[in-house]
Amino acid sequence: MLWRAIRNMEVMVHSSSFLLPKLHQPAKIPANNYNLVVLNQHLPRFMPRLWAQAKLRICADGGANRIFDEMSQMTSDQDNESNRNRYIPEIIEGDMDSIRPEVKIFYSHQGTKISDKSHNQETTDLHKCISSIRDRTPNHEKSDLCVLVTGALGGRFDHEAANINVLYVFSDMRIVLLSDDCLIRLLPKTHQHEIYIESSLEGPHCGLFPIGAPSKSTTTTGLKWNLSDAKMKFGRMISTSNIVDSEKVTVQSDADLLWTISLRNLT
């Protein structure tokens, strides 16, 4: 269990140990309890490791093109054609306006479930993927399940904003947005937060700020520039270009905050 009760408010524990090779993962934190969502952006360097350890792999529409085109080249132990058969997502979900016809046919012949939601033009493909994960996860597994999303940043700003909005829409789920350079999580105000830093993989640069609503009071430990009962909002102070100063960072706030930390040059 990743939740503990301290002074009436539960503690939510966060770790990026999913980025570690399996051999180095701490036994007490089940790093492979995650679903992987692949968006339609270039695959991060560490994709083969994330793919291998995921419980379930879902491509958001054109994300399937990325697996088809790029994954076999990232793992060059066989020729591209036979390598392609080794990376089969369980589900492709979305409005199917970006997946190429030959990619759709290839994966459906391999047994991938194609979930065509083209009738829904109100929510994004990522939103559809997260809804589907929420619906298929049994209640008793929901609080521990983590969803890793690759390709969430570094592209069109409306897509990036929609991807961040998904963190708020599904604030009761543990969703991590990933790019090659950083990760982002939501820290809900309903909990105190303990963030365990994998310093071989992440940091030192980090940021902490509210997007949805201002914070009247945020307190942290473990940062170079800690906040003590501080106010934060866009237009005033937000914490960017901060530095992690400890293996454990703690955060308590009266507002939902985004936590972001840089990723080192992982492969």
Report which secondary-structure segment, H or E, holds 263: strand 257-263
- Could you say whether residue 135 binds ligand VIB (CB under 6 A)? no
State the binding partner of 40 from ligand ATP, ligand VIB, none, CB within 5 to 8 A by kind. ligand ATP
x/- contact string, 190-229, with ligand ATP (CB under 6 A)? ----------------------------------------
Q: Are 253 and 195 within 8 A, CB to CB?
A: no
State the binding partner of 60 from ligand ATP, ligand VIB, none, CB within 5 to 8 A by kind. ligand ATP
In DSSP terms, 242 is beta-bridged to: 206
State the binding partner of 192 from ligand VIB, ligand ATP, none, CB within 5 to 8 A by kind. none
Contacts of 251 (CB under 8 A, 6+ apart): 187, 192, 193, 195, 208, 218, 219, 220, 257, 259
State the binding partner of 122 from ligand ATP, ligand VIB, none, CB within 5 to 8 A by kind. ligand VIB
Residue of 41, 112, 192, 218 interacting with ligand ATP (CB under 6 A): 41
Token pair recorded at residue 76: 């060059």
- Could you say whether residue 40 binds ligand ATP (CB under 6 A)? yes
Where b means 16+ CB within 10 Å and e means fewer, 64-91 reads bbbbbeebbebeeeeeeeebbeebebbb
- Could you say whether residue 158 binds ligand VIB (CB under 6 A)? no
The order of strands in the sheet holding 3-6 is 3-6, 9-15, 192-196, 248-253, 215-221, 230-232
Closest distance of CB 125 from ligand ATP, Å: 3
C-beta closer to ligand ATP: residue 61 or 194: 61
CA contacts within 13 A on the Cβ side of 68: 21
Task: Report the distance separating Cα 222 and Cα 190, nearest Å.
Answer: 21
C-beta closer to ligand VIB: residue 15 or 40: 40
Closest to 218 in 3D by CA, of 236, 233, 205, 203: 233
- Could you say whether residue 124 binds ligand VIB (CB under 6 A)? yes
- Could you say whether residue 95 binds ligand VIB (CB under 6 A)? yes
- Could you say whether residue 125 binds ligand ATP (CB under 6 A)? yes
Q: What does 103-166 look like in DSSP terms, one character per residue?
A: HHHHHHHTT-EEEE-TT--SS-HHHHHHHHHHHHS-HHHHTT-EEEEES-SSS-HHHHHHHHHH
Token pair recorded at residue 219: 């307190």
Give the nearest residue (CB) to ligand ATP.
155
- Could you say whether residue 95 binds ligand ATP (CB under 6 A)? yes
State the binding partner of 137 from ligand VIB, ligand ATP, none, CB within 5 to 8 A by kind. none
- Could you say whether residue 93 binds ligand VIB (CB under 6 A)? no
Q: Is the peptide bond before 89 cis (omega within 30 degrees of 0)?
A: no
Closest distance of CB 63 from ligand VIB, Å: 13
Residues that bind ligand VIB (CB under 6 A): 95, 121-125
Residues that bind ligand ATP (CB under 6 A): 39-41, 60-63, 94-95, 97-98, 124-126, 151-152, 155-156, 159-160, 163
